[in-house]
Amino acid sequence: MPSMKEPSPEARANVTEENVETRAQLLPEEQSAGGSDDPEKQAEAILAESEERTVHTDPDDAQGGHRQSDDTV
C-alpha cells in the first residue's frame, strides 16, 4: 500500500535517470489501463516511494522490518 508522505530528499537522490527511463516503459497492465500522461514523472514517483521504504523502513511493518530467526518462534 503506498504511503501518503512525500519521499525524503535522500530517497529521491537514490533514484537514477536510468532507473526512471527503464521504469517509464509501461507494464502491459499499465498500458491496458490507459497508460500514463507522463510516464517519466510517474516512474520517478514510484521509484522514489519505493526507495523511501527501503531507506526508512518501518520496524512495525511485517514487510519492511528485518527480523532475526529467533523473532519467528
Instruction: Encode pLDDT of 9-45 as tens digits.
Output: 998 999 999 999 999 998 889 889 998 899 999 999 9
Q: Is the pLDDT of residue 60 over 60?
A: yes
Residues 70 and 73: their CA atoms lie apart, in Å, by: 6
Residue 58 to residue 46: CA distance in whole angstroms:
18
pTM score of the predicted model: 0.65
